[in-house]
Amino acid sequence: MKILGLDPGLRTTGWGVIDMTDNQLHWVADGIVCSDANFSLAERLAQLHRGIISIISKYYPNVVAIEEIFINKNPVSTLKLGQARGAALLAASLSNLLVTEYSPRLIKQSLVGIGSASKIQVGLMIRQLLPNCQTKQTDATDALAVAICHAHHYNTIMKISSALTKE
């Protein structure tokens, strides 16, 4: 199963694709989608949307995992982050992909064991779990963390889903 992890941001959205086969994780690709700060908000959101659609078209993920929004001290920044997430969610949904959302705390907890882990700790764990990974961009590293979090929770999600459909 191929998992596309997304770490949304208006300026830069990180993405990472991993493959999970029999509980083994393999790095496929990662990178960033950028928007041009000189463009209008609508044009920037369109850039992010097109970039994510392009990644989906190239790597054919089975599912998408995305980081939930966190409340910033600056409400304008939080709003822009939410709009970038909307563009990412729309791209995944229009591609008929199942989307699962994870909180930043759960993502860190899933990789490092503590929800307050630093970016350095998360990066080190990613290199342990995905030895061939060569990512150098922090947003892409964060996106790979989201994908790994989903891989770790996938079996539980499927069991819950199966139990709910039996009722």
How far lies 162's CA from each of 40, 61, 144, 159, 166, in Å? 44, 22, 27, 5, 6
> Among 22, 36, 43, 139, which one carries the catalytic annotation?
139
Examine the residue annotation and report whether 7 is marked as an active-site residue of this protein.
Answer: yes
Examine the residue annotation and report whether 68 is marked as an active-site residue of this protein.
Answer: no
> Among 7, 68, 101, 167, which one carries the catalytic annotation?
7
Question: Which long-range contacts link 105-109 to residues 24+ away (Cβ below 8 Å)?
Answer: 106/149, 107/67, 107/145, 107/146, 107/149, 108/145
CB atoms closer than 10 angstroms to residue 34: 16
Classify 90 as helix, strand or coil.
helix
Examine the residue annotation and report whether 43 is marked as an active-site residue of this protein.
Answer: no
Distance CA(104)–CA(32), nearest Å, equals 18
> Among 67, 101, 142, 167, which one carries the catalytic annotation?
67
> Would you please indicate which residues are annotated as catalytic (active-site) residues?
7, 67, 139
